[in-house]
């Protein structure tokens, strides 16, 4: 019978996210799911913490203040080839999803990603897909979240947001005036 130390059974997770509020909420959620969480604000700090802790799992934001989360994937793979890595981004598109998977991530999720969905993806057996989320966001809610994020990134400038979303300014104003869909 093989004995395992408590250290080997520990589910260590590295979260690299520059949005402090989101990083804190995600860390708390993942701790409640049984992970031992280590957090970093950027690529450089993430690499240092990973070298010190050797986590089995990582959740990386794609756009960070000091670089791109994808730049950290090869470093993490060198430390631990079997590491399960999920890339999160608020700028979802097919090209970046392909780049994330080619770099070695097991999945790519658009923000705001549900902590249950992240945990299921990290813990899914290799080669299998995680179960679908119990309560996925509606398409209307996903659209509303995306519009709100672009609006915030444009410093709450309606005209600039409308231009970037390729929609009429008045249409955007009507959407912004409504409550979020469920």
Q: Which pLDDT score, from 0 to 100, does residue 47 have?
A: 92
Q: CA torsion sign, 71 to 73 to 79 to 81?
A: negative
DSSP three-state, residue 57: strand
Q: Which pLDDT score, from 0 to 100, does residue 53 have?
A: 93
pLDDT at 4 over 70: no
Q: Which pLDDT score, from 0 to 100, does residue 44 have?
A: 92
pLDDT at 178 over 90: no
Q: Which residues pair with 12 in a beta bridge?
A: 36
Could you say which DSSP state residue 181 is in? P
Q: Which pLDDT score, from 0 to 100, does residue 8 have?
A: 47
- pTM of the complete model beyond 0.85: no
Mean pLDDT for the stretch of residues 1-9:
38
- Read off the pLDDT of residues 66-115 as tens digits, 9 standing for 90 and up: 888 888 988 998 999 889 999 888 766 666 667 777 777 878 887 777 88
Q: Which pLDDT score, from 0 to 100, does residue 107 have?
A: 82
Q: Which pLDDT score, from 0 to 100, does residue 128 have?
A: 58
% the chain with pLDDT above 70 = 83
- Residues 150, 101, 92, CA angle at the centre, nearest 5°? 10
Q: Which residues pair with 37 in a beta bridge?
A: 13
Domains and CATH numbers, the chain: 6-123 (3.40.50.2300), 139-177 (1.10.10.60)
């Amino acid at each position: 019978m093989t004995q395992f130390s408590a250290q080997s059974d520990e589910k260590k997770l590295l979260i690299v996210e520059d949005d402090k509020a989101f990083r804190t909420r995600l860390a708390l959620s993942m701790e409640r799911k049984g992970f031992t969480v280590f957090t970093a604000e950027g690529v450089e700090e993430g690499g240092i913490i990973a070298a010190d802790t050797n986590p089995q799992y990582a959740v990386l934001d794609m756009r960070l203040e000091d670089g791109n989360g994808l730049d950290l994937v090869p470093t993490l793979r060198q430390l631990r080839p079997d590491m399960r890595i999920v890339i999160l981004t608020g700028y979802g598109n097919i090209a970046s999803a392909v780049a994330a998977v080619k770099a070695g991530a097991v999945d790519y999720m658009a923000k705001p990603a549900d902590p249950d969905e992240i945990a299921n993806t990290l813990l899914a057996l290799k080669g299998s897909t995680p179960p679908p989320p119990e309560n996925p966001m509606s398409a209307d809610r996903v659209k509303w979240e995306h519009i709100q994020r672009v609006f915030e990134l444009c410093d709450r400038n309606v005209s600039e947001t409308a231009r970037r979303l390729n929609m009429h300014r008045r249409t955007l104003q009507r959407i912004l005036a409504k409550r979020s869909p469920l």
